[in-house]
Amino acid sequence: MAFELREGIFAIDEMRNVSIKIGKVIEEAEEWAEEMGPTPKPGIIELRKWDMKLLERYEPFYAPVQDFCNLCTMGPCDLSQNKKGACGIDLKTAKARLVTIACCIGAASHGGHARHLLDHLIEELGEDYPIDLGGNVNVEAPIIRTVVGIRPRTLGDLREAMEWAERELMRVLHATHIGNEESYLDYESKAMHISMVDHVVMEIADIAQIVAYNMPKAEPNVPLTDTGFGIVDKNKPVIVVVGHNVLYSKPILDYLEEMGRLDDFEIAGLCCTAHDMTRVSGGRAKIFGPISYQLRVIRSGIPDVMISDEQCIRADLLQACKAMGIPLIATSDAAARGLPDASDWPVEKIVNALVSGELPGVFLPVPEKVGQVAPLVAEAIFKKHGGNRKYRFFANDEELWNEINKCTQCMSCVFTCPHNLRIDQGMAHAQKTKDLSKLAKLEEQCIACGKCEQACPKNIKIINVIMASNFDRLYNKKGKMRVGRGPIQDTEIRNVGQPIVMGQIPGVIAAVGCVNYPDEAKSLREILEEFVKRRYIVVTSGCHAMTLGMITDEEGQTLYEKTPGDFDAGGLANVGSCVANSHIAGAAIKIANIFAMRPLRGNYAEIADYVLNRVGAVGFSWGPYSHKAAAIATGFNRLGVPVVVGPHGAKYRRAYLGKYFKKEKWWVYDIKTRSKVPIEPAPDALLVAVETKEEAIVQLARLCIRPNDTSLGRQIKLTHYLELSQKYLGKLPDDWHLFVRSEADLPLKMKDELLHILESEYGWKIDWDKKKILEGPIRKYDAGFNPTIVEEVYEKYAGEKPPQ
């Protein structure tokens, strides 16, 4: 006889000839009291009903980039005007499938990263290594709790969530094969599913690295770290790391620390690896800049060795490094870059091959070895030039002017540049006046993608021209970024939960994502500063967080230096790298749990419904471009958080846009009055692209409005919305009256004026003696309003079936 015990508590008296296999031992004191909700480890259709609720209101919008498909050999197929391909798929559905694939790629990137970290850390520290995020975080892993239905206590426990995520990825990818889904709505539901998975794997990755590497644990007062070209001491060997997985670059710090030689080197990073280097080193590593700085850094000739890991790195990195004589060490198996595998080579052999130039680079997926090789290579290369780095985009001014003078203003570059930057005009102006200022201005917006150089019939090194034109400013750029703090504390949530849900804190603005900004990078600061000053909570991560650390004001200070790092009104909290985005979603979930006592365990739809109706949080990605950003945004959308993207975001092809005029779509069940109530269209979009910073500001304020706002909360939110609209759009917004439920919602200072407008322009009835609205609003304000759009949630709290 043999039987298996899974989770639970058992008493065994006397047994013979029994072999017992024990699955998992949980100590009684640690048993998680929370009851299991309806959807632990959901499969791809278990939350479909929730998705359809969202998609019914926030109708998918498709803006095809191509109107053809060539995914299989029956094609290519012309799908224009929503025609169908040989397999029967129409244009909208084909685009929805493409979006689903993009979200799968995004989720797989964070997932691959998480799996890699997790396996490595478990091997190093053991399965039982505890998850301890500090005394102020008791609700650790809110996403995993809500989605997967487990409460991970050790690194080993995270594997359970990881395994579920991997299974779902397989399922969603399967659905994208030819001959599966027929409705774009089902693809959208699957895109949402895999993007929720994305949030889970981001949480796994960041929790694992925080606990294993002792990164800051929910600390608002993390140190500031240096950013920008100007912070790198060029008189030391310079090691530059680029990518997203700190697993490979951390050993460099460890090794140098062990040798007591940390101060003899400069270690600076690009993109999220830079973030995480500063998190593991307590601010001792530096940040060169966001991902758009790759070619700037390489072509400046500053690095003595380059270490690449994974994601968002240029696919011609080796070529770019080779052209500058910078040895490259590629570390991640996701990007071996065609290089020979040097895992088994002795350290000396690797160093020699790289320093002699015998090999332009090696593939070295062994973290500890990277730690030893990188400093040795950097030091040897440094010795060769002795700190006398002559190369500065051009050897001398003459070279620069020779390039400029070659330009014929053919504009081939302009028609391939993602921003259509007017390089021709900059060149012409320089040719005529010897003034580089027009070219220098391009530097502020150029993402150094290199497309223009390939298009130029004169082979002008356009990037170098642009960079050299702004050389002094670029080279001396210095700033400060607050190191990634990791999660939001439970105590912070306790303090802000109520004012967010009631509306007195007008909103949470989460600025995350990549660097494909439509405008000079400083516009990002201008947008966020508006909200910091108005005492919204501003959170940031990834390249947005780095960019903010590089934009200084007249006093030479970045926004970080002017604001506290708390998750509180007027704060600017940097959570960390891409995978730390999970803490932003986690904060929204924790508000539902800690403030409103909603159970998390396997209870996704209820929590998302809570967030949609009550938590005035809006994601903001001013320059999104990666697949990961697509998944992050879509994951936020499923959780009920709207996202505003910059204009390049329209190229994700799909948005979720509600329509104010479809009155039948704006309703909720009110658990208090046991009725179905029409509501104001708030928020009216889940994903929308804006064109300018002015528009971004107004949309962000607008999308913070939630049905559950109290009168005071609505009054505060409307005050900001109306003021910002007047400031940036020149008048009151067109739809403000839709958000007025009673006179108490009106901004105090404008009350009389607004009552008059409601009467004269919208035909509302006003009792002027009492200054009360008698007739007009979509619905009345009710202090006990308890909205939901989920039937099961209604039944759970009302104890009866929802009204028709």
Partner 1 sequence: MAVKKEDKFPVARRYQIADVQVSREATAVKPQVVVNLIKKAKHPVLITGGQLLKDEKLVEIAVKFYEKGIPIIATGGSSKPLIEKGVKPQSVVFTLHQVTQFLLDEEWKGFDGKGNYDLVLFMGFLPYYLSRMLSALKHFSKITTVALEEFYQPHAKFSFTNLTANKDMYYSMLEEIVNNL
Contact set with partner 1 (CB under 8 A) = 59, 61-68, 78, 80-82, 91-92, 409, 411, 414-416, 418-420, 422, 455, 518, 647-648, 650-651, 653, 655, 657, 659, 661, 684-685, 688-692, 694-695, 698-699, 702, 725, 728-731, 733-735
Nearest distance in Å: CB 293, partner 1: 22
The site partner of 26 among ligand SF4, partner 1, none (C-beta below 5 to 8 Å per kind) is: none
Q: With contacts defined by CB under 6 A, how many residues of the chain interact with ligand SF4?
A: 40
- Smaller CB distance to partner 1: residue 314 or 653? 653
Residue 334 CA, chain-centre distance (Å), reads 21
Nearest distance in Å: CB 92, partner 1: 8
CA dist 355 and 374 (Å) reads 11
Is 108 near ligand SF4 (CB under 6 A)?
Answer: no
Nearest distance in Å: CB 82, partner 1: 6
Nearest distance in Å: CB 160, partner 1: 40
With contacts defined by CB under 6 A, name the span among 104-112, 134-142, 448-456, 691-699 that binds ligand SF4.
Answer: 448-456
CA angle at residue 383 from 395 to 230, to 5 degrees? 55
Is 447 near ligand SF4 (CB under 6 A)?
Answer: yes
Nearest distance in Å: CB 190, partner 1: 22
Half-sphere exposure of 180 (CA within 13 A, CB side): 17
With contacts defined by CB under 6 A, name the span among 152-160, 310-318, 420-428, 523-531 that binds ligand SF4.
Answer: 420-428
H/E segment holding residue 530: helix 522-533
Residue 120 CA, chain-centre distance (Å), reads 25
502 close to 710: Cβ distance less than 8 angstroms = yes
- Smaller CB distance to ligand SF4: residue 99 or 740? 99
Name the CA dihedral angle for 151, 153, 154, 159, rounded to a multiple of 10 degrees. 0
Q: In b/e form, how buried is each residue of 761-785, taking b as 16+ CB within 10 angstroms?
A: eeebebeeeeeebeebbbbebeeeb
Nearest distance in Å: CB 761, partner 1: 12
- Smaller CB distance to ligand SF4: residue 72 or 750? 72
Alpha helices in 65-178 (DSSP H): 91-125, 142-147, 155-175
CA dist 598 and 471 (Å) reads 55
Is 460 near ligand SF4 (CB under 6 A)?
Answer: yes
The site partner of 368 among ligand SF4, partner 1, none (C-beta below 5 to 8 Å per kind) is: none
Is 421 near ligand SF4 (CB under 6 A)?
Answer: yes
Q: In b/e form, how buried is each residue of 35-56, taking b as 16+ CB within 10 angstroms?
A: eebebbbbebeebbebbebbbe
With contacts defined by CB under 6 A, name the span among 79-87, 201-209, 643-651, 705-713 that binds ligand SF4.
Answer: 79-87
453 close to 462: Cβ distance less than 8 angstroms = yes
Is 98 near ligand SF4 (CB under 6 A)?
Answer: no
Nearest distance in Å: CB 338, ligand SF4: 24
* Residue selected from 40, 42, 60, 85 as contacting ligand SF4 according to rule CB under 6 A: 85
CA dist 86 and 180 (Å) reads 14
69 close to 161: Cβ distance less than 8 angstroms = no
Q: At what angle do helices 490-502 and 711-729 cross, to 10 degrees?
A: 80
The site partner of 799 among partner 1, ligand SF4, none (C-beta below 5 to 8 Å per kind) is: none
- Smaller CB distance to ligand SF4: residue 221 or 409? 409
The site partner of 257 among partner 1, ligand SF4, none (C-beta below 5 to 8 Å per kind) is: none
CA distances from 729 to 145, 257, 518, 781 (A): 43, 54, 19, 29
CA dist 385 and 304 (Å) reads 10
The site partner of 490 among ligand SF4, partner 1, none (C-beta below 5 to 8 Å per kind) is: none
CA dist 606 and 608 (Å) reads 6
CA distances from 515 to 441, 449, 583 (A): 17, 11, 21
The site partner of 730 among partner 1, ligand SF4, none (C-beta below 5 to 8 Å per kind) is: partner 1
Nearest distance in Å: CB 647, ligand SF4: 15
- Smaller CB distance to partner 1: residue 650 or 744? 650
φ/ψ of 460, rounded to 5, equals -75, 135
- Smaller CB distance to partner 1: residue 420 or 557? 420
81 close to 212: Cβ distance less than 8 angstroms = no
Nearest distance in Å: CB 661, ligand SF4: 34
Nearest distance in Å: CB 188, ligand SF4: 18
H/E segment holding residue 509: strand 508-511
Q: How many CB atoms lie within 10 A of CB 146?
A: 32
Ranges of beta strands (E only) in 283-403 are 286-289, 305-308, 328-330, 361-363
Nearest distance in Å: CB 426, partner 1: 14
The site partner of 427 among partner 1, ligand SF4, none (C-beta below 5 to 8 Å per kind) is: ligand SF4
Nearest distance in Å: CB 370, ligand SF4: 30
Nearest distance in Å: CB 81, partner 1: 5
- Smaller CB distance to partner 1: residue 26 or 65? 65
What is the total residue count of the chain? 804
The DSSP bridge pattern shows strands 328-330 and 617-621 to be unpaired
H/E segment holding residue 555: none
235: left (phi over 0), alpha (psi -120 to 50) or beta: alpha
The DSSP bridge pattern shows strands 675-678 and 667-670 to be antiparallel
The site partner of 573 among partner 1, ligand SF4, none (C-beta below 5 to 8 Å per kind) is: none
Please, which residues bridge with residue 126 across strands? none
H/E segment holding residue 775: strand 772-775
Map residues 140-179 to x or -, x wherever contact with ligand SF4 holds by CB under 6 A: --------------------------------------x-
- Smaller CB distance to partner 1: residue 408 or 476? 408
Nearest distance in Å: CB 635, ligand SF4: 26
Is 410 near ligand SF4 (CB under 6 A)?
Answer: yes
Is 74 near ligand SF4 (CB under 6 A)?
Answer: yes
Nearest distance in Å: CB 44, ligand SF4: 20
596: left (phi over 0), alpha (psi -120 to 50) or beta: alpha
With contacts defined by CB under 6 A, name the span among 206-214, 458-466, 480-488, 676-684 that binds ligand SF4.
Answer: 458-466
Is 454 near ligand SF4 (CB under 6 A)?
Answer: no
Which residues contribute to the site for ligand SF4 (CB under 6 A)?
69-72, 74-77, 85-87, 89, 178, 407-413, 417-419, 421, 423-424, 427, 446-452, 455-456, 458, 460, 462-463
